[in-house]
Structure 1
Amino acid sequence: MTTETSPRIDRLQDAGSTAAPERPATSDLFGRTGSGPLSGLLIADFGRVLAGPYCTMLLADMGATVVKIESPDGDETRAWKPPVRDGQSTYYLSINRNKGSIALDLQDPDDRLIAQDIAGRADVVVENFKPNGLGRFGLDYDTVAATNPRVVYASITGFGTAGGASLPGYDLLVQALSGLMSLTGAPDSPAYRSGVAVFDVMTGLHAAIGILAALQERHRSGRGQRIEVNLMSSALSGMVNQTAGYLLSGNVPSRLGNEHPSIYPYEPLATGEGDIVIAIGNDPQFRRLCQALGTPALSDDARFATAHQRSLNREELRPLLQEALGKHGSAEWFEVLTKAQIPCAPINDVGQGLEFAERIGLNPVVEVGEGGDALPGIRNPITFSETPVSYDLIPPDHDAHREPILAWLRSTSRD
């Protein structure tokens, strides 16, 4: 625990208290001022690459003070180029806003003491080293918790701490080993990776959920704990119906391209100009689709009248739908079908996706930082009615906050 001059200001109620906690604005050691739901919380971030940094960025947006502890070489993603913005990796910039950075060589005794001091004052420690990789530096859970028993310590690995402990935790490897790649692509194509490191992102979200749950338990009991997440478990959970389908029926799913194994139509279909995705999840939607396409008799055809029959007879149904869709282009059909409350979408590129989100009022782009150094960023997807997220700090340069962090350590003490 820290003195009142520390950026850690624990406003969680004491266990058993019924008094409502106050939510005043606070200023942390990086000058962020706000009243986000996690303001006053200090996170020691030993995460690298994607899963850990994505998790801590989301928590930082919510007001937590995040101290990003980097090696002397810096987070690997600083070198992942192109694309770039003013010479900096956009990969790194995408997941490191609202943090401060200090570079520490854990092999160096003095730097190691600084890292231990930060972890000893933290509410939360996040790390994604190899299992027990921080143990030799006195930064493992048991060592940190010995002097900081309220710490919530989140460990992120690729394949857990048992038989997979020695495997490198890259998202692509998990996509291959989990079976996701066997599901991605056309039936006659090679297996493909997802266009995004989907399991890294998913695991970062699972870590954030676990951290928040552990903080709530600490609020009740006063005790911290260690939580563990790994990419492989996140993958098997995140494939939901596909993994459950195998467990419950013995069905081994295979690549279906853009088709869905259980419902139809649920794929891109050709129009007179471009493709349009149509996603029919129930019989009333299919009847509305047939009316909008000018083919109402299809919904009464015994081959297509129910979801199960449509799925079985998709090869007969597809050309009939495409014949009707060929009368207009995808943009016109999007307007017509949307008005008829039929789930559909043109296939946008990423820029068009952002433009569409802007058009429907989601305001997806925010300004991170202030003045001439400000950068555009993607909005945090969570909206709070009373304690809004904030976007105060641009992603830090390597070791940019060494002096304020060291000054804070000198000016405060641990209980």
Structure 2
Amino acid sequence: MTRPGPLEGVTVIELSNMLMGPYATMMLAQMGARVIKVEPPGGDIARGIADATGHGLGPIYLNINRGKESIELDLADPGDRSTFHALVEAADVVAHNRPPGSDVRLGVDYPTLSRMNPRIIVCAMYGFGADGPYGSLGAYDDVMQGISGIAAHQTGDGPPQYVRTPLTDKITGIVAVGAVNAALYERERSGVGQLVEVPMFETMVGFLLAEQQGGFIHNPPRGPAGYARTNSPHRHPYATADGMISILASTDAHWAALFRILREPQLAEDPRFASIRARTENIDELYAWLKDALARHPTRSLLEQLHEARVPAMRVNTIEDLFVDPHLAQTGFFEEVEHPVAGPLRQPAAPVRFSRSGSASLDAAPSLDADGQRLRQEFGRRETA
């Protein structure tokens, strides 16, 4: 199914659906793991989202289930349950997104699976830490953006808004990938597996507070929470004379170059802007000036000067622009694959590259139960308990 990567030889059984779990296991597949997707009767619900094929192959499903094998199993059925147990006995990792309690009822909890395979690593991705008052509650991305502070933080004093991508699903999935790899490394020393819990709420609170805790880093607080630069209402992509750019000057050298390029070099000596502390304290005034100054310069010559001065700045892309971006084209970021049902597809390649072990090149996402017959023959069935 895949070409070698650093996780070649690792087998992952995935019992998750929608986005968080499948995104995590797809990244493990990109690192070379064999991922067997165990789907419930009818398949992953994400199959039907914006499905133009009529075959349960919507674009989200196609993008985050590449490189996997699909088997449809009803874990309430004794025969299918025995097939699942056979898969677990031969696997290294089981990944699921069932909330605490639900995993026990389904029989995918760590105590149950570790009795079958003491080396198994169970990665449980769910909304809240199991030992808290929210522990048994289910969660989706919008709910987690709300409770984690992300939604309210987007607009400051305005009404809360969601980030227009399932941020918490994907970030938690990325954290899960790191946690699984750490558990695999530890197992090389101990010889036994363990439960790896990755709660969305705690993950996103830690993610947000990394730079937003502000005065609340002290107990009791010594000032307000937040980070003035990222919270400024003037922080946004800026209009030029003929387009839009994003820019982030950070160091003293960046700002000195930017003041020079925008023809006000004397501002580098202005006490309001001469140091990072002063700029942070006066960030609204500084960014308001930047907005007006950039609007007087054409995009192309402005970017040429900024790049020459090593000031980070780029044009603003739409989603459609990404498919013709010259950098992505030259680095081979998009892969062309042929799906036996959905036809030719263009999909993102792995962004991470490994110089010696290589990165796996993934086949297209499978149709429901596309590998079921072969997997049943490969793993057989054990006697049900």
Q: Same fold (TM over 0.5)?
A: yes
Identify the residue that residue 12 of structure 1 maps to in structure 2.
Answer: none
Deviations 1:109-129 (A, max 9, x none): 211221122122211111111
Larger mean CA deviation between 268-277 and 54-63 belongs to: 268-277
1:79 maps to a residue whose letter is: G
1:95: how far off? 0.4
Match runs of 1:263-278 below 5 Å: 267-278=236-247
Identify the residue that residue 366 of structure 2 maps to in structure 1.
Answer: 396
Q: Distance in 1 between matches of 2:154 and 2:235?
A: 15
Deviations 1:20-42 (A, max 9, x none): xxxxxxxxxxxx36332112211
1:224: how far off? 1.0
2:347 aligned residue (377, 381, 386): 377
Q: Distance in 2 between matches of 1:390 and 1:107?
A: 34
1:411/1:173 Cα in 2 relative to 1: closer, same or farther (>3 Å)?
Answer: closer
Identify the residue that residue 180 of structure 1 maps to in structure 2.
Answer: 150
1:339/1:158 Cα in 2 relative to 1: closer, same or farther (>3 Å)?
Answer: same
Q: Distance in 1 between matches of 2:17 and 2:62?
A: 13
Greater relative CO, 1 or 2 (CA 8 Å, sep 6+): 2
Say what the alpha-carbon RMSD is for the aligned residues: 2.7
Identify the residue that residue 70 of structure 1 maps to in structure 2.
Answer: 39
Q: Structure 1 residue 121 and structure 2 residue 90: aligned?
A: yes
Q: What SS does the corresponding residue of 1:406 show, helix, strand or coil?
A: helix
The answer to whether the 8 Å contact 2:86/2:381 transfers is no
Q: Structure 1 residue 324 and structure 2 residue 315: aligned?
A: no
2:216 aligned residue (240, 246, 256): 246
1:158/1:359 Cα in 2 relative to 1: closer, same or farther (>3 Å)?
Answer: closer
Match runs of 1:8-47 below 5 Å: 32=1, 34-47=3-16
The answer to whether the 8 Å contact 2:214/2:227 transfers is no
1:355/1:188 Cα in 2 relative to 1: closer, same or farther (>3 Å)?
Answer: farther
Q: Distance in 2 between matches of 1:305 and 1:339?
A: 22
Identify the residue that residue 164 of structure 1 maps to in structure 2.
Answer: 134
2:159 maps to a residue whose letter is: P
1:387/1:255 Cα in 2 relative to 1: closer, same or farther (>3 Å)?
Answer: closer
1:345 maps to a residue whose letter is: M
Deviations 1:263-288 (A, max 9, x none): x9854333222332221212111101
TM-score (norm 1): 0.83
Match runs of 1:217-256 below 5 Å: 217-239=186-208, 240-243=210-213, 245-248=215-218, 249=221, 251-253=223-225
Identify the residue that residue 138 of structure 1 maps to in structure 2.
Answer: 107
1:319/1:75 Cα in 2 relative to 1: closer, same or farther (>3 Å)?
Answer: closer
1:154 aligned residue (114, 118, 123): 123
Larger mean CA deviation between 160-169 and 174-183 belongs to: 160-169
1:157 maps to a residue whose letter is: Y
1:179 maps to a residue whose letter is: G
Identify the residue that residue 192 of structure 1 maps to in structure 2.
Answer: 161
1:251: how far off? 4.8
Q: What SS does the corresponding residue of 2:257 show, helix, strand or coil?
A: helix
What is the aligned-residue identity percentage? 32
